[in-house]
Amino acid sequence: MKCGCECPNGGYGTVKPDGGCHCSCECKNCQNSVITSDGTCYCPNDICPVCDSAYEPVWEDCRCVCREKTQCGLYPACVRGRRGEQCGQPDCEPCSLQTDNGLQECFGNGICTPQSYFCSSRCVCSRFWAGVCCNVRVPRNVGGDPHLQTADGISYDYHGIGEFWDCMSTANDFGVQVRFFGYKQASLVGAAAVKVGQSVATITTPANATETTLPTLRIDGLVQSITKNNTRLTLNNDTVIVDIAKVRNNATGAVMMIAIQYDTGCPGQCNGKGRCVNSTCQCNDGWTGTDCSIGSCGACVNGVCDSGFCVCTVGWEGTACDQKEHCV
């Protein structure tokens, strides 16, 4: 019997004597506290000093101090993790996802947040999501009904029968479809199909199956051998990898684990000089190439072009080396 309880942020806590859930957390000042009903850590003592305009507050070693603002690059050559004309906007590439509704940072499961002192950015994940890009579901300690859950963490009982899309991404040519069967006033998943690029992998339960019967795996309609552990299949010019692991078939039951990897990224993730849209780099102004690694300096009047930047000769400065250097 599991005695834990679920916290508002998707984690787990301990059950209090009154039946409530005690969810602990740590504040920025390293003091222990509890998670409130909105999923945030209650930290009334996380207070920063008022900094001058050239400085900004930064938490370091459990203390909030004023640090000199850091230069994060000159547009369009912002450092990786920043973008915008002043290179002050957060950029969590490669954790962005292009959809029909526009660009979604952190795969739509979190907020891209700047790290002021280190001139970088990171994804702050929403409830029930984790990982660098917020693309990993937090495991949930549930069993029995309700046995389904929406992407925003709402659980419910479902007795539908038929074929339904679990998720579908037209932009990435990816989708998961499941088939529900009715059984004793409930429903169960008896088949699943995964579309990755131009291929479709289907997993079905054979007719008259028992608890020791392995499912049937088909790739584009062709039945695959699943009697061996650690079998790897590659599809679509190696952009799709299907791993079959932990195949077990004995008196206690049949188990088979299948993992599918689908490469939809861009070469070198565009090297921080562009954005990845539908597996193609859209380079910033002044950069070209399939991975945005080729720089175009334009006219370096008094200098030479090196990796997309003008290296000026002594006595000259500016992006085109066309301004006389001023000594202070």
As a whole-number percent, the residues of the chain with pLDDT over 90 amount to: 3
Would the pLDDT of 213 be above 60? yes
Q: Please enumerate in sequence order all residues whose Cβ is within 8 A of that of 305, keeping only pairs 6 or more positions apart, or say none.
A: 295, 297, 311
Confidence tier at 31 by pLDDT (50, 70, 90)? very high
Q: Please enumerate in sequence order all residues whose Cβ is within 8 A of that of 237, keeping only pairs 6 or more positions apart, or say none.
A: none
DSSP string, 182-229: EETTEEEEEEEEEEETTEEEEEEPPTT--TTPPPEEEETTEE---SSS
Convert the pLDDT of each residue in 1-29 to its tens digit: 345 677 776 677 887 777 778 888 889 89
Taken in order of first residue, the domains within the chain and their CATH numbers are 1-49 (no CATH), 70-141 (no CATH), 142-148+155-262 (no CATH), 271-324 (2.10.25)
Question: What single letter denotes the amino acid at residue 179?
Answer: R
Convert the pLDDT of each residue in 70-110 to its tens digit: 677 777 778 888 888 778 788 888 887 777 777 788 988 88
- Whole-prediction pTM: 0.40
